[in-house]
């Protein structure tokens, strides 16, 4: 359970309509049929063809609207503008941003708009900040409802990390000073916290090859062998439909598995045998357990 800040913070909700015509935040729309899609980006730059694919997957080329959730960012209003610019460049102008704050309020008209969005886009920043605001509340419920109705739920960097049910926080329990890489494979060091739970059968990591985070996912699959670890590099994404994932973008996706449940501890060092590593390139597809 996340600890909520005391008191009632105000809501900075920005309905940023870049070219607004006969459309309102609360207008219901028809999204993709039956079930949604996850569009999980490993951080870094987003190539134009990646943004175009996101728009197509969400059906925004024919209708509907996108909602940007910037709460991971320390500059949320700017995060909305930066994300919106990429959609504008692709000719998609039906974009709005809601910056919910810790403790609420969570106006029902904004929650309804989130539920009815064709695309929900979660910005980068700090995944812990995002989850402290949304965990087990109306925003998290609305994201799940949108997904169940067929929306695309997208996220980059921190917005990728929150997709897992078991979320990598980015912090180490033994070494409190933040390190962007993860230089050890040790027991009881990896900190996990509840994420959105849109993926329950894997742990997501991001900026993966660029920041050499291999040790972090190796630790994850040694301590949680029932879950594969999916490391997505920068400027790269996986498009997840059901239990199938497609790699798109410019780099690689690495998947660590521990099929035998191997785990040994010597002092605080972790060991294990017969781990499996698959390295996927753009265009490859794989099955998420």
d(Cα 49, Cα 76) in Å, to the nearest integer?
25
Look-up of token digits 């009815």: 116
Is the peptide bond preceding residue 263 cis, with omega within 30 degrees of 0? no
Does residue 157 have an active-site annotation? yes
Sign of CA dihedral 121, 127, 133, 134: positive
Q: Which of 57, 118, 207, 235 is catalytic?
A: 207
Does residue 207 have an active-site annotation? yes
Does residue 250 have an active-site annotation? no
Q: Which of 172, 186, 223, 234 is catalytic?
A: 234
Tokens at 258, concatenated: 């521990």
Q: Which of 72, 84, 123, 157 is catalytic?
A: 157
Sign of CA dihedral 71, 73, 75, 77: negative
Q: In what order do the strands lie in the sheet with 244-249?
A: 12-14, 95-99, 66-69, 119-122, 152-156, 37-41, 236-241, 244-249, 285-287
d(Cα 151, Cα 117) in Å, to the nearest integer?
7
Give catalytic residue positions: 157, 207, 234
């Amino acid at each position: 359970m996340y600890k909520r800040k005391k008191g009632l913070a105000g809501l900075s909700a920005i309905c940023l309509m870049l070219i607004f015509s006969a459309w309102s935040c609360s207008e219901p729309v028809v999204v993709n049929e039956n079930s949604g899609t996850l569009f999980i980006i490993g951080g870094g730059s987003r190539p134009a063809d990646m943004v175009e694919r996101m728009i197509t997957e969400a059906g925004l080329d024919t209708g509907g609207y996108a909602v940007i959730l910037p709460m991971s960012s320390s500059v949320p209003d700017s995060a909305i503008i930066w994300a919106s610019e990429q959609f504008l460049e692709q000719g998609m102008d039906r974009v709005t941003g809601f910056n919910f704050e810790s403790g609420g309020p969570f106006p029902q008209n904004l929650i309804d708009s989130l539920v009815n969005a064709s695309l929900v886009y979660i910005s980068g920043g700090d995944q812990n900040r995002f989850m402290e605001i949304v965990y087990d509340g109306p925003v998290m419920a609305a994201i799940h409802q949108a997904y169940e109705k067929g929306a695309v739920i997208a996220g980059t960097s921190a917005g990728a990390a929150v997709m897992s049910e078991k979320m990598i926080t980015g912090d180490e329990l033994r070494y409190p000073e933040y390190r962007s890489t993860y230089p050890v494979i040790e027991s009881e060091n990896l900190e996990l916290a509840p994420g959105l739970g849109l993926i329950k059968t894997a742990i997501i990591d991001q900026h993966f090859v660029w920041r050499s985070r291999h040790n972090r996912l190796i630790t994850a699959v040694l301590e949680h062998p029932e879950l594969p670890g999916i490391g997505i590099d920068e400027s790269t994404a996986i498009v997840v439909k059901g239990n199938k994932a497609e790699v798109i973008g410019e780099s690689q996706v690495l998947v660590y598995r521990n099929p035998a449940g191997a785990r040994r501890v010597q002092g605080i060092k972790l060991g294990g045998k017969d781990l499996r590593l698959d390295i996927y390139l753009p265009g490859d597809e794989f099955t998420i357990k």
